[in-house]
Amino acid sequence: MKSDTQLQQDVIAALQWEQSVNAARIGVQVEHGVVILSGHVSCEEEKHAAVRVALSVPGANAISIAIVVVLTPLNHRGDPEIASSAFNAVKWSIEVPQDSVRVVVEGGRVSLFGTVERDSQRLAAELAVCDLMGVAGVNNEIVAELPPSQNRPLAARADGAPVSGP
């Protein structure tokens, strides 16, 4: 198991290699094995990239995110424009069923509501909006409701025959 200091150095090094992250604006602390990311970034995409990079470091099993998205005049958009873009992004996503998601925007934060069949569709809606210019954060309140027949794990033998049993 890595020491807190070694894990901190590894996460900092990984962030410095990631081109989509301004590592100088991301603080990294490690306390009892928990990586704490802090700082200010210019968009939600950069925040997600920093978290993704930290999670890719061996030994980084718990992450606390204290990164704040600060919109600059160049990437700031009004809520009506963000709402329109977010609605269209969800509507145009081939993975999200038509008319299944509603969009609410307040202070640059996009909230998604609705019901879809699968969790992958719920996540696709979030991915469709999280990187839009001006988005300061996403609250995904979409509910994924699998039909009971699809809720059970599928199993098959190596030869393709179904597995019988409880």
CATH number of the domain enclosing 128: 3.30.1340.30
Residue 162: predicted pLDDT: 53
Q: What is the mean pLDDT of residues 42-59?
A: 89
* CA dihedral (17, 26, 120, 135) positive or negative: negative
Residue 94: predicted pLDDT: 94
**Distance (Å, whole) CA 12 – CA 144:** 36
Contact status, residue 139 vs residue 109, Cβ threshold 8 Å: yes
**Distance (Å, whole) CA 117 – CA 121:** 7
The position carrying tokens 């070694």 is 6
The string of pLDDT tens digits covering residues 74-133 is: 777 899 999 999 999 999 999 999 999 999 999 889 999 999 998 889 999 999 998 888
Residue 89 lies in a domain: yes
Residue 151: predicted pLDDT: 44
Domain range for 84? 79-148
Residue 165 lies in a domain: no
Residue 108 lies in a domain: yes
Is the domain of 88 the same as that of 139? yes
Is the domain of 60 the same as that of 89? no
Can you read off the two tokens belonging to residue 73? 């005049």
